[in-house]
Amino acid sequence: MTLVKLMRWESMLGLVLVAEVVLFSSLSPYFLNVDTLSDASFNFTERALIALPLALLIIAGEIDISVAAIIALASVTMGLGAAHGVGTPGLLGLGLATGLLAGCVNGALVTVGRVPSIVATIGTMTLFRGAAYAILGNRVLKEYPGSFAVFGQGYLAGPVSIELALFAVFALAFGLFLHRTRWGRAIYAIGANPVASRFAGLDVNRYKFALFALTGLFAGLAAVLLTSRLGSTRPSIAQGWELEVIGIVILGGVSVWGGKGTIMGVVLAALVFGLVTFGLGLMNIPGIVMSIFTGALLILVVAVPAWLQRR
Amino acid sequence: MSPLVTLAGVRKSFGGVRALSDATLELYAGSITALIGENGAGKSTLVKILSGVHQPDGGEIRIAGEPVRMPRPDAARRLGIGVVHQECLVFDNLSVAENLFVNAWPASRGAVDWRSLRARAETLLRELDADFPVDVPASRLSIAQKHVVQIARALADDSRVLILDEPTASLSQRECVELFRIVRKLRDAGRALLFISHKFEEIYELADRYAVFRDGVSVSAGLLSEVRSDELIRLMVGRPVAQLFPKLETQIGEELLRVDGLGRSGEFEDVSLTLRRGEILGIYGLVGAGRTELARTLFGLQRADAGTMRLSAAAGAGCALVPEDRQTEGAVLPFSIAANIALPNLAALAPRGWCRSALETGLAREWMDRLAIRASGPEQAVHDLSGGNQQKVVIAKWLARKPAILILDEPTKGIDVGAKAAVHRVTSEFARAGNGVIMISSDLPEILGMSDRMLVMRRGRVRGEFSRSEATSEKLLKAASDA
Amino acid sequence: MKGLRDLSDAARRDLVLGGLTLAVFLAVTVAFPGFAAPRSLAGLLDDTAILILLALGQMLVILARGIDLSVAANLALCGMLAALVDRAFPGLGVAVAIGIASVAGAVLGAINGLLVWKLRLPPIVVTLGTLSIYGGVIYPLSGGAWVNENEMSPAFVAFTRAGFLGLSTLSWFAIVAAIAFVLGLRYLRVARALYAAGGNPEAAACSGIDPGRMQFLAYLACGAIAGLCGYLWVAKFAVAYTDIALGFELQVIAACLIGGVAIAGGSGTALGVVIGCLFIGIIRNSLPLVGISAFWQMFINGVVIIAAVLLSARNRAHVRTILESRAA
């Protein structure tokens, strides 16, 4: 039953996606063009990469609002590293390690400190973003080595950017992990009923900690890609992204009550999101208007099933 | 004298399971009526109907001769029915005084009149001779004091009828004495009281009337002075002869589990027991006796503070627990039967991590056959199943793991007779195959019919041990209830 | 004389936070006597006034077990609306501007409240969505343009800056609101019902209080306050554009958490929230004096929030007692 319902949700997202392509290609002659579409992918890959582990976290019944702040902090450590002459591999390691560490802080607050995840991550979001501001002030770091640009600006083959390739690989990996392994099953069970999961012998806290750490790690990865693409670090980097990333996850059909959702849905939602951003950009409609669309979609996604259930 | 409250032919079912089929009850002003019945007899459903939480499917409720309807809890409150709930429904964040007047705040010119509220609260608590201040937040009170707060709230509403739902289940002896004093005072003031308890000593001490429920039907009512306790027990446990416990003869073998002096602060202490191959060890006791906490500790969900437990080498495959509340602890309700059965067996089904749904549905089919689980197929969601079939799924998921010891906590609570028999059959077969079973139950016939040996717990301690041949309901009830 | 132990948990928390805030204030004053000068204090209050107003509104929502992420977007939209109306009809006066902003804010709050109450949607998703929508609507409303001081009527801008007894009108709004909240939360029956519903919704329903309706009313009030703050913000800074107060909702929620409002609902005081806001305000105003860059503000807030929530999580242990010996 649930499976049927979810499939319907994903086919709906698919239809929205097709409608977008038709609409934008009829509105702009430049839309259906490999290079244009390749450019378009930069609109969502970094956010979508965080949405993957965040989807797992939300399915497990928790949430992380601090992802954008983690990006800022990781970007700042990389910027400082670069200023001290750290090379490209070292910068990559710095970014990932910062993200992982920040994720572990979130995980520890929720599992050891027993703080509700929404409060804990509002706190760490302020803390991480605050640290970025405290360290950097109004300075801008941009002494990145030339080779560092490869992550965010490089292409793997033809029009396929490294970012896009990473997203494709990780989407597949997360899909297999969540839907095909026993650890994925455990994540669903923990979200649907944490008490029964504990009674079934699952170490619920260990799963939750690992998922927070994973989300942090991917925020670190997104920081590497974004910093490399922009070539500079400001403390306000990725401001407001947490809402967009959470929006993608929920638009993808992941239930905020936990226990439901698919990676396929999240990937489709990321594509829908990316294409709308890009399409509206092509038509010179500013990004802020597009937020009306995402906001309305976000509410409709949860309101329509709730409304139908009331009948 | 005509009764203040009359229930006649009240019926209520939940998803096809009859909780009450013909409930008749009369409460008199200035009198305490004891409501007696086993777990599942329909007592709590009756309380919920009288307090407006559930709506009856049929029958009639009259107060002072007038038929009444209580579509919402506050309607019951307005009709003068106050309830002291077993799980304390107090506002921990509000002061004691305010708790008594929630949604009925005394006010002058639109503003809450705290002085009058406090004064009235003090008067009410003084009437009850309560010894705690009215200014502290309710979170600082003990459970007994919270009961008193609920009683005082009912008084503040000027309730004519007061229902006490197992108020003594988690009180100490001294707190009980205190509570009874208050209850008698209310009786003398002309209120009609309904007192629910499993403890006969208390019932005889406090009440003057009784009503016995069995399987959702009122079987007897009258004056307590005209009936002896063994007669009440007979009325309460007397079953239609048709009900059988398919207890199989087993060979009691080597020791699987030995527990010595096990204790956990505030929950249970000095519990020693052994479990052998082929044996069903019944643990009887009232709600709150510490049985569930003991089960969780044996299963390893929580650590003991004192004592030792040793699994013998023979119990290689370990221990499984079918918890008391199948809806929140036992099953993941939105999941399919197959996914639920797979959950504790994931490591075995997917040794290298990769799940194969064919293996899972195969396992589910096998156990659906063995336990006669009625469902459209392994893909059906568990929340669409009846209570009995849900419980079978929970048992199946653990049996599939092939444990050596199975702990069952209230395995047949709230399930119908057919499913009950199936659960008993499976349990017996499991024991006969050379495994050990610890069965916790408040259902006397079940404990007596199924166990090879019985322990009785009261207030966190083992208060008696009986062999199958020497145990009777009277002995078990006596050991369990301070009598 | 009451001992510290006899005070309610909330009063004790307010006392500790108040002491801490006072200690920070005194420490700064000892080093920089100018900090306690009347003019400096008036500036501090003027600076913190909008935060106080918004945090008091947010507190109502959190008390009812909700959260409102859309306050800053609501503020920006209503502020823009007030500015546009003023530009189009300069003669209408300040009262109309305040009325328009507050009513519009109340409507936006009511939308949140209805979605949470009637459809039982998770508050975080609802207000995340309306945050995007309300923020997005500003653009088509204003055509993406700024409304600058020279386009606003003089009265519109002058109102918040006017002084009375040395304090700006803006400060008086915060003072009046703080007093009204302290008294209202104690003496209004609807406010007591809000505490009851947030503390134990099940028991509240048994007492005839609809917890969903209380959530709705909280969102309504929070929205109206956010709308009012929209006008105040635009008038104070004499400019309206799409991005004003962007991200401010998090500072508001931070002030509530520091002020001791429990995210689980039902617990928190207006006094605590006001002190929490003043704490943030004092830190913000003293950082430049102490020679720490103002950029440390957010980091300090983060440390304080995490310390506060960790401490309140520690107090949440409930142990059920069965044993006779220990219970007696």
Shortest CA distance from B287: residue in chain C: C322
Domain positions in chain C are: 2-327
**Quick check: B339 contacting A, CB < 8 Å?**
yes
Taking only residues 387 to 446 of chain B, the set having a beta carbon closer than 8 angstroms to any beta carbon of chain C reads: none
Whole-model pTM: value is 0.82
- Name residue C95's amino acid: A
Query: ipTM, 2 decimals?
Result: 0.82
Shortest CA distance from A176: residue in chain B: B354
Give residue-wise pLDDT tens across range C8-46: 677 778 888 888 889 989 988 888 888 888 888 888 899
- Rounded to the nearest angstrom, the minimum Cα separation between C6 and chain B is 7
A261: left (phi over 0), alpha (psi -120 to 50) or beta: left
CB B406 within 8 A of CB B438: yes
Cα C312 to Cα B90: distance, rounded to the nearest angstrom = 21
**Quick check: B351 contacting A, CB < 8 Å?**
no
Determine the pLDDT at residue B77.
Answer: 82
**Quick check: B355 contacting A, CB < 8 Å?**
yes
Centre a 10 Å sphere on the Cβ of residue A254 and count the other Cβ atoms it contains.
Answer: 28
Specify the residue for token string 């309807």. B69
CATH superfamily of this structure's domain B255-480: P-loop containing nucleotide triphosphate hydrolases (3.40.50.300)
Averaged over B440-461, what is the pLDDT? Answer: 87
Averaged over B255-260, what is the pLDDT? Answer: 90
Determine the pLDDT at residue B55.
Answer: 87
Determine the pLDDT at residue A243.
Answer: 81
Shortest CA distance from B331: residue in chain A: A196
For all residues of chain B together, what is the average pLDDT? 84
**Quick check: B301 contacting C, CB < 8 Å?**
no
Secondary structure (3-state) at A142 = coil
- Rounded to the nearest angstrom, the minimum Cα separation between C138 and chain A is 8
In this complex, the residue of A129, A243, A303 whose CB is nearest that of residue C119 is A303
**Angle between helix A263-282 and A45-59 (nearest 10):** 150
Secondary structure (3-state) at A242 = helix
C242 CB neighbours in chain A (<8 A) are: 288
Task: Give the CB-side neighbour count of residue B174, counting CA atoms within 13 A.
Answer: 8
**Quick check: C306 contacting A, CB < 8 Å?**
yes
- The residue among C315, C317, C254, C318 whose CA lies nearest residue C12 is C315
With 80 as the cut, is the pLDDT of residue B230 above it? no
Determine the pLDDT at residue A242.
Answer: 85
Determine the pLDDT at residue B454.
Answer: 93
Cα C223 to Cα C217: distance, rounded to the nearest angstrom = 10
**Angle between helix A67-83 and A88-111 (nearest 10):** 150
Q: How confident is the model at residue A103 (pLDDT cuts 50, 70, 90)?
A: very high
Interface contact B268-C323, CB threshold 8 A: yes
* Cα Rg of chain B, angstroms: 24
Cα B384 to Cα B327: distance, rounded to the nearest angstrom = 12
With 60 as the cut, is the pLDDT of residue B101 above it? yes
With 90 as the cut, is the pLDDT of residue C100 above it? yes
In this complex, the residue of B328, B354, B355 whose CB is nearest that of residue A196 is B328
Taking only residues 102 to 161 of chain A, the set having a beta carbon closer than 8 angstroms to any beta carbon of chain C reads: 109, 113-116, 118-120, 122-131, 133-134, 136-138
- Name residue C4's amino acid: L
Does residue B250 or residue C32 have the better pLDDT?
A: C32
- The residue among B404, B401, B374 whose CA lies nearest residue B388 is B374
**CATH class assigned to B5-237:** alpha beta
In this complex, the residue of B91, B139, B459 whose CB is nearest that of residue C323 is B459
Determine the pLDDT at residue C5.
Answer: 52
CB C185 within 8 A of CB C270: yes
With 90 as the cut, is the pLDDT of residue A54 above it? yes
CB A178 within 8 A of CB A187: yes
Considering the domain delimited by C2-327, tell me its CATH architecture: Orthogonal Bundle (1.10)
With 90 as the cut, is the pLDDT of residue A75 above it? yes
pLDDT above 70: percentage of residues in chain C: 92
**Quick check: B319 contacting A, CB < 8 Å?**
no
Give residue-wise pLDDT tens across range B22-74: 888 999 999 999 998 876 678 888 888 888 888 888 888 998 888 888 888 77
Size of interface A-B (CB pairs under 8 A): 62
- Rounded to the nearest angstrom, the minimum Cα separation between B105 and chain C is 7
Averaged over A62-80, what is the pLDDT? Answer: 95
Specify the residue for token string 């989807």. A55
Which span out of B447-451, C49-53, C136-140 was modeled with the highest average pLDDT? C49-53
Give residue-wise pLDDT tens across range B386-440: 778 888 999 999 998 888 999 999 888 767 667 788 888 889 999 998 899 999 9
The CATH 3.40.50.300 portion of chain B extends over 5-237, 255-480
Which span out of A97-106, A199-208, B378-387 was modeled with the highest average pLDDT? A97-106
- Rounded to the nearest angstrom, the minimum Cα separation between B473 and chain A is 32
Residues in chain B: 483
Determine the pLDDT at residue B33.
Answer: 93
Cα B375 to Cα A174: distance, rounded to the nearest angstrom = 33
Averaged over B326-335, what is the pLDDT? Answer: 87
For an interface test with A, the pick among C130, C242, C303, C305 (most A C-beta atoms closer than 10 Å) comes out as C305
- The residue among B223, B210, B196 whose CA lies nearest residue B45 is B196
Give the dihedral sign, CA C12/C17/C23/C26. negative
Give residue-wise pLDDT tens across range A145-203: 989 988 988 888 888 889 999 999 999 999 999 999 999 999 999 999 999 999 888 89
Specify the residue for token string 């499984």. B320
Determine the pLDDT at residue B240.
Answer: 47
Beta-carbon contacts of residue A24 (< 8 Å; ≥ 6 apart): A31, A275, A278, A279, A282, A283
